[in-house]
Structure 1
């Protein structure tokens, strides 16, 4: 029954966002903020915790707020977490913590989110909101290079024990993050990968655009990867859902 619900949820995301002449419309707070259909979706489906709202508005004051996970995408992933009864998750690239908080709120009391973030400023923004929402004990902020944190978790014997991983950090290391995530995730667990469309630049990427080239290569690798089942969704800046076989 859980698998049926999961497939329905993924399919629903495709239907809701595959609209208009071009299905790719971006995030509701940036590229898609003037798209009436996307705003309709947000207005009629978003159920945002009050502290999430406050954190989203605070994040929009930051000059790099385009990096924030779209609220509609965060809610979708929170629902995936509920569907698979996740109690252990990793976020690779926390930023100001909007999606971290969303995941923590979706988990039961014994849930734990390991949040990887290197920038002091963003960690300092996030923590008071975690406390206000009453989930600070669920969130383990690892203020270090993400690869070091992932290796440390594997070294501590946690391979195969995580339910959900969200990859949203430096694109240069996406492939490495993916491989480490496959080690850490359990069978049936989900790896969600952000920015896989990169504002459409992954389509026939310019040879000089190394980021788009790298994302395109990873997308093609995942398409052939028999270790996972997957869907690439037109949500936010493109979201791949990979389920470990």
Structure 2
């Protein structure tokens, strides 16, 4: 998770938000409250929330999986875009942050659409597979521990239906993945993850330079 964006001038980014994003007042208030937290850099950018909501509508998604919710902005954006009867299952480890999320979900009237499972995401994903939910989800959003991205991705790929979409955040990592001298564990993990996805024949792939880099992976139908 990160609110870092690629190198846009402040004027251009302000313009982008003024004409390219329709942010509901409750989304803005959640973003502003989150900005006061020490961990505020984990918040996704508003333009990324708008992209997620648009993808929900384009896919006509009814079942969404989210790995990492923080204070709930991404889940709120997607849940607001869900049709009646839609369901979003999100997993996170931190009760303090997700208590903020629950408060805004409830105020927005989408809390009944969102199921939060607290605990280690890998354990939750394994449980979903044991619950026979393979190929159940139309869409998955991955935005959690970077060093575990490959494991999250493999589980999510099993849980998303053929023709569904996986969305992975922070895949440009403020540009560090393109700098050979950057060798911290998160940068190395994302760099390797990007290479692995580029070679993965199970998906169609596009890395979009929005916010901190968003990878779209379309799960191919079996041949």
Indicate the residue corresponding to 1:221 in structure 2: 196
Whether contact under 8 Å (1:205, 1:213) holds in the other structure is no
- For residues 52 and 65 of structure 2, what CA distance do their matches in structure 1 show? 12
Residue in structure 2 matching 1:148, options 104, 117, 123? 123
Indicate the residue corresponding to 1:73 in structure 2: 48
Q: Does 1:27 align with 2:2?
A: no
Whether contact under 8 Å (2:88, 2:114) holds in the other structure is yes
Structure 2 residues not aligned, in runs of 5+: none
- For residues 179 and 108 of structure 2, what CA distance do their matches in structure 1 show? 43
1:177 CA displacement:
0.3
Computed over aligned residues only, the root mean square deviation of the Cα atoms, in angstroms, reads 1.6
1:207 CA displacement:
6.7
Equivalence map 1:50-69=2 (5 Å): 50-69=25-44
Indicate the residue corresponding to 2:135 in structure 1: 160
1:205 CA displacement:
3.6
- For residues 180 and 193 of structure 2, what CA distance do their matches in structure 1 show? 13
Change in Cα spacing, 1:197 to 1:150, as seen in structure 2 (3 Å) is same
What's the secondary structure of 2:205's corresponding residue?
A: strand
1:27 CA displacement:
2.9
Q: Does 1:90 align with 2:68?
A: no
Equivalence map 1:121-136=2 (5 Å): 121-136=96-111
Change in Cα spacing, 1:207 to 1:235, as seen in structure 2 (3 Å) is closer
1:53 CA displacement:
1.4
Indicate the residue corresponding to 2:14 in structure 1: 39
What's the secondary structure of 2:177's corresponding residue?
A: coil
Q: Deviations over 1:132-155 (max 9, x none)?
A: 000100000111100011111111
1:46 CA displacement:
1.3
Using the size of structure 2 for normalisation, the TM-score is 0.93
- For residues 173 and 39 of structure 2, what CA distance do their matches in structure 1 show? 16
What's the secondary structure of 1:114's corresponding residue?
A: strand
1:242 CA displacement:
0.3
- For residues 41 and 125 of structure 1, what CA distance do their matches in structure 2 show? 27
- For residues 132 and 196 of structure 1, what CA distance do their matches in structure 2 show? 32
- For residues 103 and 207 of structure 1, what CA distance do their matches in structure 2 show? 33
Count of aligned pairs between the two proteins: 218
1:203 CA displacement:
1.1
- For residues 210 and 182 of structure 2, what CA distance do their matches in structure 1 show? 26
Structure 1 residues not aligned, in runs of 5+: 1-24
